[in-house]
Structure 1
Amino acid sequence: MFGLNFGHPESLALLALLPLWFLWQRKRESQRRTIPFSRAAVLAAGPRPSLRWVKWLPWLRMLAIAGVILAVAQPRSGARAERVNSDGIDIALTVDISSSMLAEDFQPQNRMEVAREKLKRFVLGRKTDRVGLIAFSGEALTQVPLTTDYPVVLAAIDNLQVGQLEDGTAIGTAIATAANRLRNSPGRSRVMVLLTDGENNRGAIDPRTAAQAAGTFGIRIYTIGVGSEGMAPVPVGRGLFGLRYENRPVKIDEPLLTEIASSTGGRYFRAKDAAALQAIYEQIDQLERSAVEAKAFIRYTERFRWPLLFGLAALCAELWLRARRGVLP
């Protein structure tokens, strides 16, 4: 009714009793035709009746009760939960946060800053995809498990900082950690996006073995090598005025990243600048999608205040008439 539903619709049954109460009230009033007084002086000192207003009193009382009943029934609008079928994929964003990600070959930003910016833009383009975030360097750690709570993922991306984990590049460990998050996901399409700027030099898990294991779970890995070609200013320690940079050769194990991607049906991309990295995420955004079932929630808007205020207004009007118009009891 008018886009409303009720939290306690059984309370509305009380409205059917109001006409009975009204008739009983009128009958009761009709039976009170005389009022005995011991002396005429008492009557003269009492309130003067105003019969024109007396007839409104039962109506106002009935409206007040009706307003309270409607408020108790908890009218509300908008809220429902329904299952909808939509296209979505499960995506594990796996990001290198080793010290080399501070290299400043993506001027005026370093690799880490550009990676955060492009990751956030990628997440903002999701609608029904479940997204998780895994950070790695010499070890790997899940920052956010698979979720559609995108503000949480965006906040976690903002908090990605070099130095949060032991330094190094453990690509195999990162793949195994992300695959463990994806392997039991309900979606038929599972994707891992692995972003790194170096060579595998840490961890006990071989990247190729981890990729083969991920492939058996139907996980497709897209690898991204981040960094320009040739030399790049890379942090090598701290000096008096902050990080000290030296030009070092950019080393990305492209054959390994290509093999990891191809063994799982994915692709390898090379991002030499910020624009290229953005274009890569746009290509990944065109991945094959599968239908998933999601539950859509719409929050209730409570409407009980209006009937409650209406009932209180009717009650106040009745009390005002009784007080100001001098209605006899």
Structure 2
Amino acid sequence: MVFANIEYLFLLLLLIPYIVWYILKQKKSEATLQISDARVYAHTPKSYKNYLLHAPFLLRCLALVLVILVLARPQTTNKWQNSEIEGIDIMLAIDVSTSMLAEDLKPNRLEAAKDVAAEFINGRPNDNIGITLFAGETFTQCPLTVDHAVLLDMIHNIKCGLITDGTAVGMGIANAVTRLKDSKAKSKVIILLTDGTNNKGDISPMTAAEIAKSFGIRVYTIGVGTNGMAPYPYPVGNTVQYVSMPVEIDEKTLTEIAGTTDGNYFRATSNSKLKEVYEEIDKLEKTKLNVKEYSKRDEEYHLFALAAFLCVLLEVLLRNSVLKKIP
């Protein structure tokens, strides 16, 4: 138990002069009767009132102690604890252009990427992980966090069409870099997943890679999609027809991005291959993170206040009943 206003406990020192005053007062106010011999009263039984004579004073002192404790605000709480856990800082940069709806991976590229990313997050409970989405533009879906429940919920809500269509690979990397550049972690990683070539954005992929390198951030690039042609759902009226679209992944640029930042490039042509890519990245080195844990404080003054009230009430009852004095 701790006290929010511990300085009020110094008021307990006031009890010392109060007790001294009471003792002196009792000595001066005791009635006396002079008799020649007191032996006749030696075996006279004492009344129970003799034992209760100082009860009101004791109850008043106890009530004062309890009131002071109430003012000091007793609280129950757990101590702050600093612990160290192993982890790295990771930003997932995921392509959400409409081409990610191609169904060469099941059920489609985007859903396959979301499923494997969720599994990857579940396997790294100690990591700070965030999400950047990009298409023709880019935005942060979730900043770095260890609250993976929120993160997984964010992943579940990812879908195509959230932003202008296109593939701004450089912007996606740059956005992720802004979330990692101030990190104190030894390992800072961007996992970039795309199925196309850079065709939008104000920052080229290689410029973004150089920026990442300057901040000590490694970029792992993943090209997702089969070789050749891929079935793409195309809405026609109230129906959906499938057309074959060529798979155009700029593997050369993705490889150069990874090489510039000391990362690796992976090609995922199926769900199993995509899973293997994340398993490979899972072998990254780890670094120590300081985590401070705390618990909510609960006020516990209620019982002390109730006890003080009962003490005062009992004192009043004793003074006006059993110990009532006749003037």
Which residue number corresponds to residue 309 of structure 1?
A: 303
Counterpart contact for 2:62–2:311, Cα < 8 Å: no
Match of 2:160 in 1: 162
Q: Deviations over 1:48-106 (max 9, x none)?
A: x9836554333333333323322332333314265x55544322211111112223344
Aligned equivalent of 1:38: none
Paired residue type of 2:230: A
Q: Distance in 2 between matches of 1:102 and 1:25?
A: 88
Q: How far apart in 2 are the matches of 1:27 and 1:139? A: 86
Q: Tell me how far apart the structure 1 counterparts of residues 101 and 89 of structure 2 sit (CA, whole Å).
A: 29
Q: Which residue of 2 aligns with 1:12?
A: 9
Distance 1:319 1:270 in 2: 81
Aligned to 2:260: 263
Q: How far apart are 1:304 and its partner, in Å?
A: 2.6
Q: 1:67 to 1:194 in 2, by over 3 A?
A: same
| Equivalent residue, structure 2, for 1:319 | 313
- Residue 73, structure 1, aligned to residue 56, structure 2: no
Aligned equivalents of 1:63, 1:114: Cα separation in 2: 69
Q: 1:239 aligns to what?
A: 237
Q: Tell me the alpha carbon deviations over residues 13-61 of structure 1, each in whole angstroms, 9 at most, x when there is no partner.
A: 2233335434544655676668xxxxxxxxxxxxxx9836554333333
SS in 2 for 1:258: helix
Matched, 1:103 2:102: yes
Instruction: Work out whether residues 131 and 140 of structure 2, in 8 Å CA contact, stay in contact via their aligned partners in 1.
Output: yes
1:179-190 residue pairs with structure 2 within 5 A? 179-190=177-188
The AA in structure 2 aligned to 1:214 is A
Q: 2:127 aligns with which of 108, 126, 129?
A: 129
Structure-2 separation of matches of 1:147 and 1:71 = 40
Question: Partners in 2 of 1:127 and 1:69 — Cα distance?
Answer: 46
Work out the percentage of aligned pairs sharing the same amino acid. Answer: 42
CA RMSD of aligned residues (A): 3.3
Take 1:235 and 1:30, find their aligned partners in 2: how far apart are those partners? 102
Which of these two proteins has the greater Rg computed from alpha carbons?
2
TM-score by length of 2: 0.77
Distance 1:168-1:55 versus aligned 2 partners, 3 A rule: same
1:178 equivalent in structure 2: 176
How does 1:141-160 map onto structure 2 within 5 Å? Answer: 141-160=139-158
Provide the rounded CA distance (Å) in 2 between the counterparts of 1:5 and 1:244: 68
User: Does the CA contact (< 8 Å) of 2:60 and 2:315 recur in 1?
Assistant: no
Are the equivalent residues in 2 in contact too, given 1:88–1:130 (CA < 8 A)? Answer: yes
1:103–1:233 Cα contact (<8 Å) kept = yes
Other structure's SS at 1:12 match: helix
Bigger shift: residues 127-136 or 319-328: 319-328
Q: Which residue of 2 aligns with 1:299?
A: 295
Q: 1:210 to 1:57 in 2, by over 3 A?
A: same
Secondary structure class of the residue paired with 1:198 = coil
Task: Determine if contact 1:70/1:304 at 8 Å carries over to the other structure.
Answer: no
Change beyond 3 A, Cα 1:300–1:204:
closer
Quote the Cα distance in structure 2 between the aligned partners of 1:30 and 1:117.
86
User: Which residue matches 1:62?
Assistant: 61
Change (3 A) 1:225 1:26: farther
- Aligned counterparts of 2:134 and 2:142: Cα–Cα separation in 1: 13
Q: Hey, what does 2:210 align to over in structure 1? A: 212
Partner Cα distance (2:251, 2:16) in 1: 83
Unaligned runs of 5+ in 2: 32-46
C-alpha distance in 1 between matches for 2:268 and 2:52: 84
Task: Indicate the SS of the match to 1:163.
Answer: coil
Distance 1:274 1:60 in 2: 77
Task: Render the CA deviation track for 1:192-251: whole Å, top value 9, x for unaligned.
Answer: 11011223233343323332332233221101222344543323335314x543343443
- 1:187: Cα distance to partner? 2.9
Query: How much does 1:257 deviate?
Result: 2.0
Kindly provide the amino acid, as one letter, of the partner of residue 14 in structure 2. Answer: L
